[in-house]
Amino acid sequence: MPPMLDVSDEVRAEIGDEEADRLLTGESAPGGYDCTSCRTPGDPRQERTSTVLFIGDETAVLAFAHATCLPSQVVKVTEEQLQGAVKSIAGDTADPEPQQAVLGVTSGLVLISGELHPALVVEPTAPIARPGTTTTGDDFLPLLVEQGFLPVPDLSAVPPVLHGWSVLLAMGQLHAVLQPSPSGGRPVAWWQAHHPLQVTDGWRAAAGKHQQVLMFAAPVGSIGRQPREDLLREALDRAAAGGRLVAAALPLAGT
């Protein structure tokens, strides 16, 4: 039986028909892999698997993810991030260099106190080390708490507004999460979409109504890519209960 691999058109365009077909027939498909999104093992003979092509400035790396975690896609990264991704895909934990992580951002509506709020859920693809350190720990949540995000014990209340931060929506698409500039000038991008992220009409309507977006952040491995909003909510509840979730309400920038 051929492996259950998804090769999207954009991935096919990059790797070529020949390599795409070799993957699809199983000739060059992996026997097993660690999902590039949730980091748990996967097997393309047992479950649908997405090919994810990371493209740096000079090199590219083909990785695999559970189809429920990520759709097959091309992800453009810096050469530095790519080297980090290669290291983490290869499972090289002996290297003391901190990994460069990519931030995964998912949009969804979250029900709090009987009302739907537009939310962004941010989860890195690897542990985030404090800049300038070489520890292997994950400082993602402590770093955000230092910026004013608050730990969320449960999703019973809307988190407070974090002034200075904002979410940039333009033409109904999500472009960036902005944070205050360290030098006091214009806000700078904390996260910027490689391609503007399409949001649903419901999400856009809720964002327009509330004029703010709730941003939830969790360390790598906490949420995963959830295909449905009820599953996203369950994952958020689990992360909150486990003390692995911080949040803030960010005002909208743009329209």
Query: Stretches 61-69, 109-117, 168-176, 196-204: which one binds Zn ion (CB under 5 A)?
Result: 61-69
Q: How deeply is 210 buried, as exposed, middle or buried, from its count of CB atoms within 10 A (0-12, 13-18, 19+)?
A: middle
Contact 248, 215 (CB under 8 A): yes
Rounded-to-integer distance, Cα 242 and Cα 129, Å? 21
CB of 37 to Zn ion, least distance (A): 5
Q: Which amino acid is it at 142? A: P
**Piece in contact with Zn ion (CB under 5 A), picked from 31-39, 125-133, 161-169, 242-250:** 31-39
CB of 85 to Zn ion, least distance (A): 15
CB of 55 to Zn ion, least distance (A): 21
- The answer to whether the beta carbons of residues 186 and 224 sit under 8 Å apart is no
Sign of CA pseudo-dihedral 51, 176, 189, 57: positive
CB of 227 to Zn ion, least distance (A): 11
Which of 7, 11, 23, 38 binds Zn ion (CB under 5 A)? It is 38
- Residue nearest Zn ion, Cβ-based: 35
CB of 36 to Zn ion, least distance (A): 8
Range in contact with Zn ion (rule: CB under 5 A) among 32-40, 163-171, 179-187, 212-220: 32-40
Which residues, other chains included, contact 227 with Cβ-Cβ below 8 Å and sequence gap of 6+? 68
Binding map of Zn ion across residues 155-194, x = CB under 5 A, - = no contact: ----------------------------------------
Q: Report the alpha-carbon distance of residue 240 to residue 115 in Å, rounded.
A: 19
- Within residues 82-121, the interface with Zn ion by CB under 5 A covers none
User: In whole angstroms, how close is the CB of 137 to Zn ion at the nearest point?
Assistant: 23
**Among 63, 69, 176, 218, which residue interacts with Zn ion (rule: CB under 5 A)?**
69
| 46, burial (CB in 10 Å: exposed 0-12, middle 13-18, buried 19+) | exposed
User: Of residues 123-162, which lie at the interface with Zn ion (CB under 5 A)?
Assistant: none
With the C-alpha atoms ordered 71, 74, 77, 82, is the resulting torsion angle positive or negative? positive
Residues in contact with Zn ion, total (CB under 5 A)? 5
Contact status: 66 vs Zn ion (CB under 5 A): yes
Beta carbons of 67 and 224 less than 8 angstroms apart: no
- When asked if residue 35 is in the footprint of Zn ion (CB under 5 A), the reply is yes
Of 64 and 203, which CB lies nearer to Zn ion in the complex structure?
Answer: 64
The smaller minimum CB distance to Zn ion, of residues 38 and 214, is found at 38
Q: Say whether residue 12 binds Zn ion (CB under 5 A).
A: no
- Scan for tokens 């460069």, then name that residue: 100
Please report, as ranges, the residues that interact with Zn ion according to CB under 5 A.
Answer: 35, 37-38, 66, 69
